């Protein structure tokens, strides 16, 4: 079995390495959070039944798959796009997360399966249909893909962008490589940029998934589906909510209404968008100003005792909004709001008060950049307490 010393190699918001044992510890900790907060429902009566999680290997999707499987006893099928280890070449963090999730599920007599491939493709949709014919119809579908590009069913490749709409952006940015607060400026999106971003991160693919599952007869009566969205504060609005990605999220939210009507009519099912809080993930690290915003947010939410990672958010969502028999509480647009603690007006006012004064010289004191950085490193299995990074670790970890 190939054992290797795996050293961190970060390039800005990218990690070129992943530590298998660090990722395994992260997953075990998430399962502990589930056990401590909602206990553990055995497969069978009272469980969610069968869950499908699209984007299951990291971030919000991984948390959703873990809560489905270990918290609510669901047979859990995940879809992700990860690199498997090859010989002595290590795989990606998402792969190692799932290797540990599979191992824990198996040891506990639970079903956790993964299809590793392009979720936007017709082939992977068909593989999922086949798997569900074997496992049984699906009760809960979570849509948690975050991708820079999508090849649609016709073979057209669309690239998503993070650009302002209508006017150039200028405001605070953060250079993760140089660890400097910068003045960022960005030209506004073209109509093509907007259309492409909606194609990748809007609701079209979610809709394709639900239609495919419905037509194939693999959605259980009363099946529910939830896709994740973000709104965020005024500070990031020009680049996020009013920018290309926010446009795509509006499309996702409109898609929820259309899917809800279809599912209610066809199988007494339902569709929602859940607006989640900002958290440290691979996807959010790439958004200008967001790492700096998260550093301030983490400091203040920790001080208030309201800090949450994806696993805490998803536990809260399942327990309060989507557990069997529970009807979600939504805002006036029909959205589940898990960002309520982040958007709390007093907290946002405090963040706004800190924001303008942030400089390269003071951001380490005024924001908790150390916490941001450790959380970011942990996404890839680094900076995990208790791991000896000088020791070789097994890189060939299969999805059993
Ligand atoms: P992430 O980068 O941690 O996870 C993305 C997942 O998508 C991974 O499992 C990856 O393997 C999978 N994926 C990407 N391309 C794929 C493809 N072509 N085929 C199959 N799988 C693919 O992202 P995240 O931050 O957890 O984001 C998930 C969702 O949550 C997104 O819709 C995002 O907008 C939303 N959200 C994120 C935040 C945040 O702060 N990170 C906040 C609110 C909402």
pLDDT in the model for residue 292: 94
In a domain, 152, yes or no: yes
- Count of the separate structural domains present in the chain: 1
Our mutation pick for probing the ligand 1 site, out of 123, 283, 297, 316, counting the most ligand atoms within 8 A of Cβ, is 283
pLDDT in the model for residue 173: 87
In a domain, 252, yes or no: yes
Cβ of 283 closer than 6 Å to ligand 1, yes or no, is yes
pLDDT in the model for residue 358: 95
pLDDT in the model for residue 249: 98
pLDDT in the model for residue 40: 63
pLDDT in the model for residue 43: 62
In a domain, 258, yes or no: yes
How does pLDDT run across 347-393, given as a tens digit for each residue?
A: 999 999 999 999 999 999 999 999 999 999 999 999 999 999 999 99
In a domain, 175, yes or no: no
pLDDT in the model for residue 1: 64
In a domain, 250, yes or no: yes
Atom of ligand 1 nearest to the CA of 58: 3
Q: What are the C-alpha distances in Å from 367 to residues 24, 301, 371?
A: 29, 11, 9
pLDDT in the model for residue 161: 94
In a domain, 217, yes or no: yes
Low-confidence ranges of the chain (pLDDT < 50): none
Which protein residue's CA is at the shortest distance from atom 15 of ligand 1?
147
Enclosing domain of residue 13: 3-160+193-288+307-339+379-394
pLDDT in the model for residue 47: 83
Cβ of 101 closer than 6 Å to ligand 1, yes or no, is no
Our mutation pick for probing the ligand 1 site, out of 78, 281, 291, 297, counting the most ligand atoms within 8 A of Cβ, is 281
Q: What is the CATH number of the domain that holds 330?
A: 3.40.50.720
In a domain, 226, yes or no: yes
How does pLDDT run across 33-70, given as a tens digit for each residue?
A: 999 988 766 666 668 999 999 999 999 999 999 999 99
Strands (E) in the chain, as ranges, are 3-4, 10-11, 14-15, 50-54, 75-80, 112-116, 138-143, 149-151, 157-159, 169-175, 180-186, 219-229, 270-275, 336-337, 393-394
In a domain, 41, yes or no: yes
pLDDT in the model for residue 313: 98
Atom of ligand 1 nearest to the CA of 119: 19
Atom of ligand 1 nearest to the CA of 62: 9
Give CA–CA dist 333/331, Å, rounded: 5
Residue 169 catalytic?
Answer: no
């Amino acid at each position: 079995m190939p054992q290797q010393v795996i050293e961190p190699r970060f390039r800005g918001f990218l990690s070129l390495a992943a530590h298998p044992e660090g990722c395994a510890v992260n997953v075990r900790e998430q399962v502990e959070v589930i056990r401590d907060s909602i206990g553990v429902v055995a497969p069978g009566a009272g469980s969610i039944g069968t869950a499908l999680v699209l984007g299951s290997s990291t971030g919000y999707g991984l948390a959703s798959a873990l809560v489905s499987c270990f918290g609510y006893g669901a047979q859990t099928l995940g879809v992700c796009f990860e690199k498997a280890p090859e010989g002595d070449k290590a795989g990606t963090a998402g792969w190692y997360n799932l290797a540990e999730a599979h191992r824990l599920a198996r040891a506990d007599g639970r079903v956790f399966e993964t299809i590793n491939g392009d979720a936007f493709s017709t082939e992977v949709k068909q593989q999922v249909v086949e798997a569900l014919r074997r496992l049984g119809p699906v009760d809960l579908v979570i849509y948690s893909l975050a991708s820079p590009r999508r090849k649609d069913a016709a073979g057209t490749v669309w690239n998503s962008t993070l650009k302002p709409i209508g006017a150039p952006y200028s405001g605070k940015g953060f250079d993760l490589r140089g660890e400097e607060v910068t003045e960022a400026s960005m030209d506004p999106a073209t109509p093509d940029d907007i259309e492409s971003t909606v194609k990748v991160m809007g609701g079209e693919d979610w809709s394709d998934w639900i239609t495919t599952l419905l037509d194939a007869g693999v959605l259980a009566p009363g099946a529910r589906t939830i896709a994740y969205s973000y709104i965020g504060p005024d500070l990031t609005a020009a680049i996020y909510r009013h920018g290309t990605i926010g446009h795509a999220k509006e499309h996702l939210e409109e898609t929820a209404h259309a899917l809800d009507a279809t599912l209610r009519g066809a199988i007494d099912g339902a569709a929602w968008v859940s607006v989640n809080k900002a958290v440290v993930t691979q996807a959010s690290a790439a958004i200008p100003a967001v790492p700096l915003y998260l550093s301030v947010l983490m400091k203040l939410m920790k001080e208030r005792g309201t800090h949450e990672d994806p696993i805490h958010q998803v536990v809260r969502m399942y327990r309060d909004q989507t557990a069997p028999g529970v009807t979600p509480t939504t805002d006036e647009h029909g959205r589940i709001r898990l960002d309520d603690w982040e958007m709390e007006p007093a907290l946002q006012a405090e963040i706004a008060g800190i924001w303008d004064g942030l400089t390269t010289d003071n951001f380490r004191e005024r924001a908790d950049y150390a916490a941001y950085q450790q959380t970011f490193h942990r996404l890839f299995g680094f900076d995990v307490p208790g791991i000896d990074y000088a020791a070789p670790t097994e890189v060939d970890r299969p999805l059993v």
